Amino acid sequence: MAKSPVLPLFAQHLGASKADIGFIAAASTIIGIVTNLPAGALSDVWGRKRVILVAALVFASAPFLYFFVTTPWQLVVVRVYHGLATAIFGPVALAYVADLFQQRRGENMAWYSSATMVGRFLSPTVGGLVLSLATLPAIVALFLPLGLPQPRLPYLLVYLGCGLSGLVALFLALRLPDLGGGAAVRRSGGENPASIPAEAKRRPRPYLERRILLTSGTEAAQYLAYGALETFLPLYALAVGRAEWEIGLIFGLQTVTTLLTKPLMGRLSDRLGRRALIALGLLVSAAALAAVPWTASMLPLAVLAMLFGLGVAVVTSSTAAFVADLAHGTAHGAALGTLGTIMDVGHASGPIVAGLLIARLSYAPAFAIIAAVLVLAAGGFLATVRE
């Protein structure tokens, strides 16, 4: 909610240029690229709960810093600090779930991932609603005695809501059972040092382990396509005459499809194996992406977006579990931090690559090239990575 839709509007209110707004929006993602791996590795040594509590403290404190922001550069600083929360929390929380479950790991990690998507799905609606309500005279009159500046009041109320949510998250984090580090999981059903083969303990660190790097690169290819589609499908849809509400509905259906199918795909990966499903998901996403520029109607575009969302669910529900399988319990944090770092690079590259291709070649060739990358990634993954 701190990012969509309030962040660009707040930055513009502070006088930021379009270029400044892009940099401000990217600040939290950039910090994630450099933080995911160290945070995950630290949790292997220091313990998951301690690192999760660090992230929860940032979640709870960062929103209140927006109250003191008056210039764009101050907003960048706060966004970097706020971005640390997600960058730390993401891989460590996934590692915590991976520690808890040796059996049905893919399904349970997918349930966790779907839970995060519920928050992402609701946040723009809730944030937009708060922005709208904050302009009502009764709401303005209620908060004026607190001395909040009226022009910034709508934005500050959104960040107040973020702060309250962060405090709830901190309270819940305090109640998490302490499992220790990745190599000291004590909960029944999780991995402990005695259950880890000796050869696994002698393996290279996750950021050097070939199969983990290849799996992470495969997910990065998926997110490269995802970043391209989420950025340029709205522009393509507008160009072919689709209304704004139709574009919103298309993306809503895509998100809901991913959210609802992830746990099922995770269960299938537990039963059928991860590799084949990862390759299948990449091929499904490639087919949907390549077909987008060949239709202009609302229903086909919605179906293709849902198909792409299904491909994302198939791939991402399997990659995280597969990386955790490969790492064993000794280094879940570092392994999933490696996955997150490489995935973020792919996600950030998607809009850049797609923008350059579309500018030179138009939509159909550009999407076809990115779809070909997914096909090559699927073939390369099957050829080079074994269970």
Convert the pLDDT of each residue in 319-358 to its tens digit. 988 988 888 666 788 888 888 889 888 887 888 888 888 8
- Between the CA atoms of 132, 134, 139 and 143, what dihedral angle is there, to the nearest 10 degrees? 180
pLDDT (tens digit per residue) in 245-289: 788 788 888 888 998 999 999 999 888 888 999 999 999 999 999
Cα distances (angstroms) measured from residue 37 to each of 7, 85, 350: 26, 14, 21
Q: What is the pLDDT of residue 239?
A: 87
Q: Which of 295, 303, 302, 315 is nearest to 367 (CA)?
A: 295
Structure confidence at residue 203 as a pLDDT band (50, 70, 90): low
Looking at residue 324, its amino acid is: A
Average pLDDT (135-144) is 68
Distance of CA 168 to the CA centre of its chain: 21
Average pLDDT, the chain: 84
Q: Is it the case that residue 138 has pLDDT exceeding 80?
A: no
Structure confidence at residue 200 as a pLDDT band (50, 70, 90): very low
Domain locations in the chain? 1-176, 206-387
81 half-sphere exposure, CB direction, 13 A CA radius: 16
How many other CB atoms sit within 10 Å of the CB of residue 190? 20
Q: What is the pLDDT of residue 221?
A: 95
Average pLDDT (298-304) is 93
CATH class of 206-387: mainly alpha
Q: Is it the case that residue 196 has pLDDT exceeding 50?
A: no
Furthest-apart CA atoms within the chain: distance in Å: 68
Give the residue ranges of DSSP H helices in the chain: 6-13, 18-46, 48-65, 72-100, 105-133, 137-143, 153-174, 198-201, 210-239, 244-272, 274-291, 298-327, 332-361, 363-384
* More confident: 230 or 258: 258
Cα distances (angstroms) measured from residue 223 to each of 186, 226, 227, 347, 365: 34, 5, 6, 5, 19
CA–CA–CA angle 276, 280, 282 (5° rounding)? 120
Q: Is 312:278 a contact under the CB 8 Å cutoff?
A: no
Return d(Cα 275, Cα 211) in angstroms, integer.
11
Looking at residue 149, its amino acid is: P
Q: Is it the case that residue 129 has pLDDT exceeding 80?
A: yes
Least confident segment among 70-79, 114-123, 135-144: 135-144
Q: 1-176 domain in CATH 3.30.830.10?
A: no
Q: Is it the case that residue 193 has pLDDT exceeding 50?
A: no
pTM summary value: 0.76
Structure confidence at residue 21 as a pLDDT band (50, 70, 90): confident
Average pLDDT (115-137) is 81
Q: What is the pLDDT of residue 145?
A: 57
Return d(Cα 54, Cα 38) in angstroms, integer.
13
Pull the structure tokens for residue 232.
Answer: 């340029």
Let me know if the fold of 1-176 is the same as that of 206-387. Answer: yes
Q: Is it the case that residue 43 has pLDDT exceeding 80?
A: yes
* More confident: 280 or 41: 280
| Cis omega (within 30 of 0) for bond into 5 | yes
